Structure 1
Amino acid sequence: MNYYIGVDVGTGSARAALFDENGKLLKIATNVIKTFNYLSDYYEQSSDDIWNSVKKVVKEVVGEISNEYIKGIGFDATCSLVLLDDAGKPVTASLTGDDERNIILWMDHRAEMEASIINQMNHEVLKFVGGKISLEMEIPKIMWLKKNLPDTFKRVKLYFDLPDFLTWKATGSESRSLCSLVCKWNYNANEFGINGWNEDYLTKIGLSCLKENNWKKIGNIVKAPGEPIENGLTALAAAEFGLKEGTPVGTSIIDAHAGGLGMIGISSKDNPKISKLFSSRLSLICGTSTCHMAVSSKPIFVNGIWGPYWGAMIPQYYLNEGGQSTTGKLIDHIINNHPATIEINKKINNTNIHIQEYLTNLLINYANDKNINDISYLTNDIHIWPDFHGNRSPLADPNLQGMICGLTLNNDEYNLAIIYLATLQSIIYGTKHIFNYLNNNGYDIKTILICGGLSKNFLFCKIHADAIGVPVLIPDNCESVLLGSAILGACASKKFDNIDNAIFNMSGNANVIEPDKKINQYHEKKYKVFLKMVQDQKEYKKIMNENI
């Protein structure tokens, strides 16, 4: 039996997993990574800390297995900006001057002004990011460095997206992934092979210096996800991992895109009639944030939705990417800041019950006591707009804020349960917002796929089906992101003829949640309130900005 390793560096941890050639998860290891958050909206990490964590988790999953049976390894990570000098050493991205803090995390919002400057230019490259660049992308952050940390800007000789940093450490290759460059760096790519950096764009925003040495700082060798990287693992990386020198390494991918890759080919055991056509599926990858992946054979432009990105997730397909910032973090925020949480945590201490499971059980029992047919009806009088950290899609407005309507003086555990439910619904209506934008602009999405932490929350998945009105598929393999990275390793090893075959052979099966049409009308009313809330927020801001 051949084995493949997937490595995932998320916001809070590095993980590795061992899969067999059929996509079966055999072993997983996790190690926490550090984040520095010394100022509001400033989030930094250390590439040394991350690489040390990666070494630890890979070595752990290799364990006692003979390395001759491990045929490939793939990497994914958050789309965070890594700064290195001419010796490959960290260069500070921090106002503290600490070189250890050489990564600007994806969720860092320091480059708001730079993103605004780019968006005011209305350059042609912006049509590939839904009309507006996000301050979470890499080019605005490099602009910020040039203005605010000029010594850093002079010292940096290599800029990497974090997934590409991992393959560089593993192989010594400075090649970049098409996934990272087209999605987060405004790199041009299309089905006709007209690929490259847009010199006019970079000159107009003051970054023409990046052209030096044939774009060496930001990448001049670009490979498709899963394409093998030169000679595979270096002797040093192989020794650090407990693997053989030369083990094939697949070109990397962004973490959310790895989840889409690992999930898009799943089969339905309960309803085999559900289409397996890639373009009919919307993949939700749920972690600290939620990313929405849709692919098509032809470019589809959607205002407020990133893309179309050629070959960013699956070769020969365009990708559109929607997203909701900090959804997982929002749920934690709502729960952790409610007065009832302390007592609930005391109750469930030393049990296997998660607080979200406890709240769900409360809702079920409360609805039964009141003879309410569906717990979603419990939020009739409470409504939430979930953009506590701005809106990524489809409104592309980082200045939007969260809203809650319907608060009372009640602060018991039932009150928390209902606010928690309303929070879930608001996140789901955000997905419905993105879903509708995609379908109104050329997609014909018929199914939602969900992976990540929230895929284990049945309530979250069930309301998606009910509110949007389409089946929801939950992979049997709950680690779709890691599987996506392992698929990259399998492709690099030449186990499969192409990435499509790797997807279908390794993705596995899924359970299906069918929509309940009886409650759809209720969700439509809630969704109408949801859309009205953001209009009200904009109206309030307009009033407050008026001259008196």
Structure 2
Amino acid sequence: MSNAYFIGVDVGTGSARAALVTDNGKIVKTAVQSIQTWNPQQDFYEQSSDDIWNACVTCIKKVAEGVNPDDVKGLGFDATCSLVALDKSGNPLSVSPSGNDRQNVILWLDHRASGEAAKINKLSHSVLKYVGGKISLEMETPKLLWLKTHLPKQWAKVGLFFDLPDFLTWKATSCETRSLCSLVCKWTYDGQAGWSPSYFQEIGLGDLQEDNWRKIGATVLSPGSPVGQGLSKQAAKELGLKFGTPVGTSIIDAHAGGLGLVGCRAGVNPDFSTRLSLICGTSTCHMAVANKPVFTPGVWGPYFSAMVPGMWLNEGGQSATGKLIDHVIDSHPATATIKGKIGEMHIQTYLSNLLKDLAKKANLDNVAFLTRDLHVWPDFHGNRSPIADPTLKGAVSGLTLAEDEESLALLYLATVQALAYGTRHILESLIKSGHFIESVLICGGLSKNYLFTQTQADVVNLPVVCPEEIESVLLGSAILGACAAKYFPDMTTAIKSMGGKGKVVSPNPSIMDYHNKKYKVFLAMYEHQVQYRTIMSQ
């Protein structure tokens, strides 16, 4: 067994996780610890940085238990792109109307800053060309502007703002460095020109320039670069690891998934630029890299070296995917009865099996045909890409009075299909702008859902690759630790060495015409929503 291990730490929306990973990308052990979220009012979602760090400590100690600290060669951290506020002493500072200092993190999916995002977009500053022409209310500068506008007393107390991944490396090393990934993708930082003074002055945040931009980042490093001298004495003691163990510059969670996924070997073109990576969880990020900058309306980027060194990243996404599927299932009248009788079986597995029975009874060759008269527009939490309109709402066409499990199965299928049409919408926008995509790679919980992966393949008419090591996000953060330890000559080698193998899900050409028709309905549902708004605003 290898004596070289790397620890990858991933902080998602609802939990922190850690994995012990070998130098060939095999995950030996994992641990998970839930984290608390406050939802004090509609569109407000807050967390605690202390709670998050404590959860990370718990997970790291669990996966490192029984391992010689000398064999842990490096650590890497990824997290959601949530905003952390600290006071001038480095203690948690409330971002909440409640004033509770434990609530010092604005979660990525918080939508409180809609007005601020609209104000910024009206200014049409040149930095916005790198976010598809419109800044998202999920990014950090609208949230910073909200804090300054609505909580001015708190704003005056701020010492440091961090993107959550950078907060974790700060806790581990006591170094205030920031990741190029977080700042370029979520803070309007330019990897070549740095911060834009004119942008921050125009939007009303010019005071952040003080002390060489220290509050939001004076020293910026590429993902995987060593942070300071590694683990601080305090962090090493907390974690039970060696003082000075290398810590890699952090990365956003979806981008960590991209790192762990894009090098997967599966018999499709290995060129990174031909692969669209889907990192699926509560939401889904669609990551595409290119050798030259590609500007795609409604899609974030291009960001230079934000994920793969030397390549330009575009990032599309859907704000609710796993969360939407859960919502559709959990809100249906038949769910409680189903869960009461299926024991340990996952309800999505049960529904997939039920769909096969329904198709057989109806003499249909494929379950996809069951939703001919049932259609879903999936933007229940707004549209991230390519329309970039957070005010869009979800819609369902074809409902009946049925409340049985068959009606739930059909609605579940129509939702899975709608998410695939959303991927196609993003993919078409990327291709139209200059990307050349030959395969789709999927990681996260939904990669284990055969209905989801097959539907994605059928709808986009491309092979879908699912890695054998499904925890691509944890693998990606471990790759950062390997890079910090200089275990491999460069990150590209690390990605290929630790990326592992995958299996291919091939598209079914016999149902392409059907999905083309449903995709036309999908696009029409958006046009209809726009029409309804126009009518109601007259």
Q: What TM-score do you get using the length of structure 1 for normalisation?
A: 0.97
Alignment of structure 1 residues 491-510 onto 2, 5 Å: 491-510=483-502
Is the aligned partner of 1:305 residue 2:299? Answer: yes
The counterpart of 1:205, out of the listed 191, 203, 206, is 203
Once the two structures are superposed, what CA deviation does each residue of 1:493-532 show, in whole Å capped at 9, x if it has no partner? 0100100000000010000001111101100000000000
Q: Which amino acid aligns with 1:337?
A: S
TM-fit CA distance, 1:299: 0.5
Equivalent-residue separation in structure 2 for 1:95 and 1:308 (angstroms): 35
TM-fit CA distance, 1:411: 1.1
Q: Secondary structure at the match of 2:175?
A: coil
Q: Secondary structure at the match of 2:525?
A: helix
Equivalent-residue separation in structure 1 for 2:291 and 2:178 (angstroms): 23
The counterpart of 1:247, out of the listed 245, 248, 255, is 245
Structure 2 gap segments, 5+ residues each: none
Question: Residue in 2 aligned with 1:354?
Answer: 346
Once the two structures are superposed, what CA deviation does each residue of 1:380-433 show, in whole Å capped at 9, x if it has no partner? 000000000100000000110000000001111000000000000001100000
The counterpart of 2:66, out of the listed 64, 68, 81, is 64
Question: Residue in 2 aligned with 1:267?
Answer: 265
The counterpart of 1:36, out of the listed 35, 38, 57, is 38
Once the two structures are superposed, what CA deviation does each residue of 1:153-178 show, in whole Å capped at 9, x if it has no partner? 00111000000000000000000000
Is the aligned partner of 1:225 residue 2:220? Answer: no
Is the aligned partner of 1:234 residue 2:214? Answer: no
Of all paired residues, the percent bearing the same amino acid is: 58
Question: Residue in 2 aligned with 1:446?
Answer: 438
Q: Secondary structure at the match of 2:400?
A: coil
Equivalent-residue separation in structure 2 for 1:455 and 1:155 (angstroms): 44
Equivalent-residue separation in structure 2 for 1:39 and 1:261 (angstroms): 35
Q: Secondary structure at the match of 1:497?
A: coil
Equivalent-residue separation in structure 2 for 1:146 and 1:251 (angstroms): 28
Is the aligned partner of 1:291 residue 2:285? Answer: yes
Once the two structures are superposed, what CA deviation does each residue of 1:88-113 show, in whole Å capped at 9, x if it has no partner? 10000000000000000000000000
Question: Residue in 2 aligned with 1:279?
Answer: 273
Question: Residue in 1 aligned with 2:152?
Answer: 150
Q: Which amino acid aligns with 2:280?
A: C
TM-fit CA distance, 1:115: 0.3
Q: Secondary structure at the match of 2:66?
A: coil
The counterpart of 1:85, out of the listed 87, 107, 127, is 87
Question: Residue in 1 aligned with 2:519?
Answer: 527
Q: Which amino acid aligns with 1:408?
A: T
TM-fit CA distance, 1:352: 2.4
Equivalent-residue separation in structure 2 for 1:14 and 1:277 (angstroms): 32
Alignment of structure 1 residues 355-370 onto 2, 5 Å: 355-370=347-362
Q: Secondary structure at the match of 1:157?
A: strand
TM-fit CA distance, 1:366: 1.2
Question: Residue in 1 aligned with 2:479?
Answer: 487
Alignment of structure 1 residues 77-476 onto 2, 5 Å: 77-189=79-191, 194-268=192-266, 272=267, 274-348=268-342, 351-476=343-468
TM-fit CA distance, 1:36: 0.1
Q: Which amino acid aligns with 1:186?
A: T
Equivalent-residue separation in structure 2 for 1:101 and 1:429 (angstroms): 37
Equivalent-residue separation in structure 1 for 2:402 and 2:111 (angstroms): 35
TM-fit CA distance, 1:371: 1.7
Equivalent-residue separation in structure 2 for 1:118 and 1:87 (angstroms): 31
Equivalent-residue separation in structure 1 for 2:312 and 2:479 (angstroms): 19
Equivalent-residue separation in structure 1 for 2:93 and 2:228 (angstroms): 27
- Would you say how many aligned residue pairs link Structure 1 and Structure 2? 536
Q: Secondary structure at the match of 2:230?
A: coil
Once the two structures are superposed, what CA deviation does each residue of 1:134-170 show, in whole Å capped at 9, x if it has no partner? 0000000000001100011001110000000000000
Once the two structures are superposed, what CA deviation does each residue of 1:441-496 show, in whole Å capped at 9, x if it has no partner? 10010100000011110100001111110000000001000000000000000100
Equivalent-residue separation in structure 2 for 1:195 and 1:63 (angstroms): 44
TM-fit CA distance, 1:370: 1.9
Q: Secondary structure at the match of 1:5?
A: strand
Alignment of structure 1 residues 14-33 onto 2, 5 Å: 14-33=16-35
Equivalent-residue separation in structure 1 for 2:328 and 2:361 (angstroms): 25
Q: What TM-score do you get using the length of structure 2 for normalisation?
A: 0.99
The counterpart of 1:73, out of the listed 75, 78, 88, is 75
Equivalent-residue separation in structure 2 for 1:238 and 1:35 (angstroms): 27
Q: Which amino acid aligns with 2:379?
A: D
